[in-house]
Structure 1
């Protein structure tokens, strides 16, 4: 169990403001300062610096934050395991991003359920940013994400390397058939919200050409992948999807891929958990059990 002063430290890390941390914890600001001083004395290192009216973590503070989040995560995992109905319960509490939830995890999860029909299973579907925050708070044991994450905070294995396609409805009409990415800027872009892997991949591809999402004629932003696909099917614009997510509609002739000479993207979908977790071996076992049977590539540790 973490010392209560570590909770104060994590609150300051979250808000980067002593006053807001005090309000969140319902304690006084002097108490927050006292807790931070106590930790700095215990670890014989400064945890924060203050410059230009801005609070920042020191290198030592970053290390302590990462360790504290992992301990907090593992404690919540332990609590869940202690309340399992039996040693063979094989409980799953994890998160997935929408593409993974819609296209990749159902079959592996069905196999898992056949192996352990009595296992309690809880799945959260959200964007990468939200899932990483839930991991940090110990609300999830692991996550399978399509977006970018801080590799220094998590251990990971490559779940799948998936092609990324520009797509539109089968009957969508262009004034001039696009050949390169910039040719699409005159269209409406249908895209996921900030914090999602779907948006981040296209944002990075555009940034290489000094372009931005906002450079499209107009943008329709949605938080649900099924709604995004429905809008594309109805001819509302162009979008970018993983091949696995688009394949059913491509195969039925309802969507069509837009071949672009300068856009041949693929992206790693990653199985991750808090770095340094004492349950790492358990997560590696779950990775094997929940991996797609046609997975491409090899697993890799965080930082590879």
Structure 2
């Protein structure tokens, strides 16, 4: 669209809704509070409209597929035992699971590509409906051969270590950066920063004593029990975070989506 056409459309919307949607200071333009609200309503309407066609085809074909996304820790460690139980109960269920970081999964929700997302990271709670799935403990991890494995220390006592962490946008990195911020620290305070997008690779590097990392206890309980990795005994580091079941507001199949929340919760607890 040309600039005059955009301006004309904005004026039409402002006249229709009887509010100002754009504010300007010199050559700078920004959305008003009403403009931001209209933007959120429009995004929700668009995302839900994208879901209508596949939902109607599900009804037509009498199918109830499970199409969802999960962040890495949940997708690799929390969900597989649940899916196994689900397959045993309903072997004909069609399941599609996308394992991505929090940022990408929120985008997939807006685009109508998934029904819901299981998120471990921070997300905009004003934009989505959500339900608590579990509350998970976040811990420091190192090699059993690392000198810090046997001695209690603080976050400040770890700054001479190489820090191995996930890419920006991942849930575990987001949680850790918030924990550091609360103690007036950042990832740049560590001796060296190593970014790796694969959790098994991160575990291997930690096992070989290349550096330390921070993960949910859920993700390393097997390796710790086998002596492959060691939890770092940290002082004044009591961090936990919710795993959330997240979906679009006012979605046309809310009843079906919440059915899957109940089903997943029950399977997790059995």
Aligned to 1:172: 146
1:1-304 aligned within 5 A:
27-51=1-25, 53-84=27-58, 86=60, 88-174=62-148, 177-291=151-265, 293=267
Q: Tell me: CA distance 1:32–1:121, structure 2 relative to 1, closer, same or farther (3 Å).
A: farther
SS of equivalent residue, structure 2 residue 224: helix
| TM-fit CA distance, 1:215 | 0.6
Unaligned runs of 5+ in 1: 1-26, 296-304
Structure 2 vs 1, CA of residues 284 and 176 (structure 1 numbering), >3 Å: closer, same or farther? closer
Rounded Cα–Cα distance in structure 1 between residues aligned with 2:52 and 2:92? 20
Alignment length, in residue pairs? 269
Q: Secondary structure at the match of 1:83?
A: helix
Which range moved further: 273-282 or 126-135? 273-282
Deviates further, 114-123 or 282-291 = 114-123
Distance in 1 of aligned mates of 2:84 and 2:5: 50
Residues 104, 292 of structure 1: 8 Å contact kept:
no
Aligned-pair Cα RMSD in Å: 2.1
**3-state secondary structure, aligned to 2:64:** coil
Stretch of structure 1 that moved more, 208-217 or 271-280: 271-280
Instruction: Decide whether the 8 Å contact of 1:185 with 1:217 is kept in 2.
Output: yes
Distance 2:73 2:204 in 1: 14
CA distance in 2, matches of 1:82, 1:252: 49
Q: Is the 8 A contact 1:73 1:136 kept in 2?
A: yes
The TM-score, its normalising length taken from structure 2, stands at 0.91
Q: Give, in whole Å, the separation in 2 of the partners of 1:194 and 1:292.
A: 32
How far is 1:160 from its partner?
0.8
Q: Distance in 1 between matches of 2:15 and 2:90?
A: 49
How far apart are the structure 2 equivalents of 1:41 and 1:112? 52
TM-aligned CA deviation for residue 109 of structure 1? 2.0
In structure 2, how many angstroms separate the alpha carbons of the residues matched to 1:124 and 1:159? 18
- Kept in 2, the 8 Å contact 1:73–1:139? The answer is no
Describe the shift of the 1:111–1:32 C-alpha distance in structure 2 as closer, same or farther (beyond 3 A).
farther
CA distance in 2, matches of 1:175, 1:71: 52
| Unaligned segments of structure 2, at least 5 residues | none
Match of 2:262, SS?
Answer: helix
- When the two structures are superposed, what TM-score results if normalisation uses the length of structure 1? 0.81
Write out per-residue CA displacement over residues 37-77 of structure 1, whole angstroms, 9 at most, x where no aligned residue: 22222222222323375443222222222222222222222
User: In 2, distance between residues paired with 1:52 and 1:236?
Assistant: 53
